[in-house]
Chains A and B, each alone.
Chain A
Amino acid sequence: MNPRRKQRLLAVSGILVLLSGGVGAMLYALNENVDLFYTPSQLIEGLGEDKKKPVVGQRLRIGGMVVKGSVRRDEHSLKVSFDLVDTGPIVTVHYDGILPDLFREGQGIVAQGTLLDASTIQATEVLAKHDENYMPPEVAEAVKGIKHVAPKHTYPAGTP
């Protein structure tokens, strides 16, 4: 092999090693940063065919409709909690901060946070789409077909 070829071979193989290292690191980082999406019933009953439940402390996203009358606010801070529902069980979300403009009872929201216990989530971010009829698509999918059935869990009007 002449020196030029040798040099090129070295350069190319060096770059290949770097590149594959980079791609590997990237895929690892990607897997570290995946947040699974749950609806309240998936959170309680488990996700997918093998009914995998999230573990406490796991980062996740949850999307559902805010249960009417479930929004409870702290009197002196911005702490707030509310319940989410899709087709069955309810999940409670705690949040400390400003709720988005379109956060309303009875409407769909998505919250990003960590699991505190089996049915409670500490949210770091609450999202509501800038569209009045917005329902997270995942929730719409879960609710599809039983749209006209009244949800199991509603609070009587007037309860805090």
Chain B
Amino acid sequence: MIAEVGHLALCFALALSLILALFPLYGSYKGAAGPVLLARPAALLLFLLTAVSFAALCYAFWINDFTVAYVANNSNSLLPWYYRLTAVWGSHEGSMLLWVLMLSGWTAAVALLSNSLPLILQGRILGVLGFVNVGFYAFVLLMSNPFERTLPFFPVDGRDLNPLLQDFGMIIHPPLLYMGYVGFAVSFAFAIAALLGGRFDANWARWARPWTLAAWLFLTLGIMLGSWWAYYELGWGGWWFWDPVENASLMPWLVGTALIHSLAVTEKRGTFKSWTVLLAIAAFSLSLLGAFLVRSGVLVSVHAFATDPSRGLFLLAFLLVVVGGSLLLYGLRMHAVRSQARYQLFSREVLLWGNNVFLLTATLVVFLGTLYPLFHKELGLGSISIGEPFFNSIFQYLAIPFALLLGLAPWVRWKQQQLQPLLKPLSLWLVAALVLALGVLSMYQTPAANVALLGLLLGAWVTMATIGEIQQKAAQLGGVPGLFKLQASHWGMVLGHLGFAMLVVGIAMTKTFSVEKDVRMKIGDSVELNGYTFLLSEVYALNGPNYGGQAAELEVFQHGEKVTHLHAEKRFYPVTRAVMTEAAVHARLSRDLYVALGEELSGPSWALRVYVKPYVRWIWLGAILMALGGLVSLSDKRYRRKAKTEIGEQGAQAHA
């Protein structure tokens, strides 16, 4: 019964999203206020209905209602309640429901928080969002209904949730990631609405910026959590595999990062307009492409969803409509838009343009590397895979100019900048960065040209240049108290850039100094790695609620002193007949100790994977710092200032 309520709510939601797609757009086309005013209640009701539907599915999981096929396939009565609830988005159908919940949530948020926008623009934005909603609700109802019944022959117990997903990381990773993916729909809607109206001014950019920042920060956190989860849950100790599904999330992130920078130029200088619109379209299209890649089964990946060609076809058609339609509109409307601002070759505009070029090149690299095997196969040239070295080496080369520009850009003024006044302070900070990088590296080894040195240099340069810029600002504003006058978005930029520096250092150090060893050990054996001695003291049988298996206890010593105790598990889930590795991790800022238990061998002895990974935490902390930067930027007062006079003027123009 409850499941039918959920299904019905979804059907109503689809109808409502149709209303949302048609009426406000019609109203803003005709200049009639009535249909546009419909948009807000429609958006709120849409979210409410979706929430009801989502709650219904949660309830079905909660009471173990195995007459619902999706519950029967992804849950089990032995599953603890918290994993039963997270199993809601553990597979395709439920995750699509979560997706539309997020989408309607963003739509409702736009409806609630867009008071300061001209009515006509509100109508356009919500109308475009309504159109996007229609696509996804139709997809859920037609292609992946989570409320399908197994009646009359329903199973006594469920097939259990994939053990990989029975984990804390899984509870929060997908919601954050989807928040990011779906959030770019709002940037997209702003871009399309502006194209429809043909107006791109500083106000438009100022409205679009916080939404884009919010989506970007969720996506950042989502990707970071996914990486962290893979690190400890997959038992390989890797944090990025260039897996197609990971790449699918990285592409919208890279373009989104370019977009927030390009939006800054559009807001501050009224230029880069057509470029910004194109980026907004691209970011959302790449989110859709990600959904298509993950859910259609065209790519072989460790964590693609169960595959169904018709779903892929639907998503591909939707993607083509979105991309084709928006590019057509772009072609029709964009010629009228002129950027008035003039700027010299050495100016912040040009440097930010450089930022965009490098980020888009990186996107192109990921795009090629992800889709090339697909084309290769479809052309009948045989199956191939693209090796990690391809991505790694190109990203390494791209990082050098990117980080150099990143350190420099905040020092450079808009419009034009003389090189002379910058030379002295910048070279001082450059020397400081060199000293810092070499100093840190010499603690590890004699400084040699390698990835670690490169990463440290780039990280130190970005850090020093950022600090130097703050110091310069302090001098201009009359000492440290003057820094309080700086806008929140400036501090957001500083945090974001420092986060990037941390990320680069983390990646380079981990890549260079990680020591990984697969060993065969008996009880009482010890192995030495990077100064740490790992002693296998005990292995015993496990007895979990829905799993069995083995657990190993290890003692870790350094210089004869005990550092920590590690507990690694190898679990066996009888319902899904799956084996899972629960790695033991001892984390510190400067290094991780990582042990994963492998199979039991004759002897009795065990295969163990023992890693020491320096600075691996910095990768995720850097990403968190970047997201924090986004949050701080978001808190900038000017995004909440109501531009009263401008509303009147714009409204009048739009009605004319």
- Chain A residues close to B by CB (< 8 Å): 7, 11, 15, 19, 22-23, 25-26, 29-30, 32-37, 47-48, 59, 61, 73, 75-78, 96-99, 101-102, 112, 127, 129-130, 132, 136-138
Contacts and interface: CB of A to CB of B under 8 A. Distances in A.
B382 A47 contact: yes
Nearest to B365: A26
Contact of A34 (B386, B520, B570): B386
B506 interface: no
A78 B608 CA distance: 10
A132 to B, nearest CB: 5
A99 B599 contact: yes
Given A11-B345, A73-B601, A37 B383 contact: yes
A36 B382 contact: yes
B114 to A, nearest CB: 38
Given A29-B390, A47-B382, A132 B577 contact: yes
Interface in B567-582: 570, 576-581
Contacts of A138: 383
B81 interface: no
Interface of B: 162, 164, 235, 300, 302, 345, 350, 357, 361, 364-365, 368-369, 372, 376, 381-387, 389-390, 393-394, 397, 518-520, 570, 576-581, 596, 598-599, 601-602, 607-609
Nearest to A137: B300
A29 B394 contact: yes
A124 to B, nearest CB: 11
B579 A76 contact: no
A96 B369 CA distance: 28
B368 A30 contact: yes
A137 B373 CA distance: 14
Which of B302, B520, B577 neighbours the largest number of chain A CB atoms within 10 Å of its CB? B520
A48 B386 contact: no
A66 B598 CA distance: 19
Given A33-B386, A37-B385, A73 B598 contact: no
Given A98-B598, A129-B302, A132-B578, A37 B520 contact: no
Contact of B302 (A34, A37, A130): A130
A37 B602 contact: no
B520 A130 contact: no
Contacts of A112: 385
B607 A130 contact: no
B387 A97 contact: no
A78 B578 contact: no
B598 A35 contact: no
Contacts of B602: 73, 75
B452 to A, nearest CB: 22
Contacts of A73: 601-602
Judged by DSSP, the binding face of B is mixed
Which of A25, A47, A73, A130 neighbours the largest number of chain B CB atoms within 10 Å of its CB? A130
Contact of B580 (A11, A32, A101): A101
B387 A98 contact: no
A11 B353 CA distance: 12
B243 to A, nearest CB: 11
Contact of A76 (B382, B520, B598): B520
12 contacts: A26-B365, A32-B389, A33-B387, A35-B386, A61-B383, A75-B602, A78-B518, A78-B607, A98-B607, A98-B608, A101-B580, A130-B578
A29 B387 CA distance: 10
A26 B397 CA distance: 11
Nearest to A136: B300
Contact of B369 (A22, A23, A30, A32): A30
A61 B602 CA distance: 29
A36 B384 contact: yes
B384 A26 contact: no
Given A33-B387, A76-B520, 8 more contacts: A11-B345, A15-B357, A34-B376, A37-B383, A37-B384, A48-B382, A127-B302, A129-B302
Contacts of B235: 101
Contacts of A35: 384-387
Contacts of B386: 30, 33-35
A36 B350 CA distance: 42
Nearest to B304: A129
Contacts of B601: 73
A23 B365 CA distance: 9
Contacts of A97: 518
Contact of B393 (A7, A29, A130): A29
A102 B579 contact: yes
B382 A98 contact: no
Which of A35, A47, A78, A99 neighbours the largest number of chain B CB atoms within 10 Å of its CB? A78
Which of B364, B381, B519, B607 neighbours the largest number of chain A CB atoms within 10 Å of its CB? B607
Contacts of A61: 383, 385
A33 B389 contact: yes
Given A34-B384, A37-B385, A48-B382, A130 B394 contact: no
Contacts of B393: 29
Given A32-B390, A33-B386, A33-B390, A77 B520 contact: yes
Contacts of B599: 98-99
A98 B376 CA distance: 31
A30 B372 CA distance: 9
Contacts of A98: 518, 596, 598-599, 607-609
Contact of B383 (A11, A36, A77): A36
Contacts of B300: 136-137
A138 B383 CA distance: 8
Nearest to B300: A137
B396 to A, nearest CB: 11
A158 to B, nearest CB: 16
A56 B599 CA distance: 31
A97 B237 CA distance: 14
B13 to A, nearest CB: 33
A19 to B, nearest CB: 8
Contacts of A102: 578-579
A29 to B, nearest CB: 5
A138 to B, nearest CB: 5
A75 B520 CA distance: 10
Contacts of B387: 33-35, 59
Which of B300, B570, B577 neighbours the largest number of chain A CB atoms within 10 Å of its CB? B300
A116 to B, nearest CB: 19
Contacts of B389: 32-33
B383 to A, nearest CB: 4
A146 B607 CA distance: 37
B258 to A, nearest CB: 15
A35 B357 CA distance: 29
A34 B387 CA distance: 6
Nearest to B369: A30
Nearest to A61: B385
